[in-house]
Amino acid sequence: MSLWVIGVCLICGALIGFLGGVLGIGGGLIAIPALVLLMDMSQQLAQGTALIMVLPTIVMAVRKYNQKARIDRRVAGAGAIGAVLFTWVGAQLALGISSSTLRISFAVFLFFVAAFYVYRIVKPPRAAVVKNEVPGRSAPELTPGRSAALGVVCGTLGGFFGVGGAVLAVPILTAVFRLPQTSAQALALTMIIPGSTIALVTYSWAGQANWWIGLPLAAGSLLFVPVGVRIAYRLPERKLRACFAAMLFATVALLIFEA
């Protein structure tokens, strides 16, 4: 691989890491369509390669989020256990279907998540009833058991799509359990670290991960994750959600264009 390609990967990784830190997504949702469109990779290979970049980026983002506000380790640990058990199942399902089918499924999933975020943005807020709780009615407690159940769903999706577990977890944590956006992002990313490791091993074992591309992306990403996390804590809730939804719609458009 030429030095020019390595340089481009470093720059792209820096941009992806910055956006991932702001939006709390690890950057994989941006990297996957970019690898499909620019590197002409299959959907499975793009997902496996993106995981090489995503995993260290997630670890860095969680560390920075935890410095801002402590993450509930019991809840996060329970979610991580649930995710680990089902990530391998999702990855095996993804490796057994065609690239085009997986790509369309990915686009449909992201569209509905983005549509939900638009609904959350335009929905009139009501007075908050608990400190640090987003506007709305009294929220159910996020127990380790509920976190584990959420981890099962997110782990399956994370294995199937290579990324996506945190994308599903964040709107559930904000809408159902009324966590602030940044707290939901921090908890969701913490939950998917073990599962993402399982997914990376599974994709790599199947030959669906390009480490020569993934490692420079990871190096560039790690440099700018802290900057993105700092900005995330300065953005108002509605603007952060709007950025999240806009990024998802843009990703859907790219995937449909490629399909």
Question: Which residues make Cβ contacts (< 8 Å) with residue 204, sequence separation at least 6?
Answer: 48, 211
The pLDDT of residue 243? 76
The pLDDT of residue 131? 45
The pLDDT of residue 258? 67
Domain limits for position 67: 3-125+139-257
* CA separation for the pair 173, 179 (Å, rounded): 6
Report the chain's mean pLDDT, rounded to a whole number.
82
For range 195-213, the mean pLDDT: 92
Asked, for residue 130, whether it belongs to a domain, the answer is no
Question: Does 188 score more than 80 pLDDT?
Answer: yes
Asked, for residue 131, whether it belongs to a domain, the answer is no
Asked, for residue 41, whether it belongs to a domain, the answer is yes
Asked, for residue 132, whether it belongs to a domain, the answer is no
The pLDDT of residue 100? 85
Question: Does 52 score more than 90 pLDDT?
Answer: yes
Number of domains in the chain: 1
The pLDDT of residue 221? 87
Confidence of residue 128 (pLDDT cuts 50, 70, 90): very low
Asked, for residue 134, whether it belongs to a domain, the answer is no
Asked, for residue 43, whether it belongs to a domain, the answer is yes
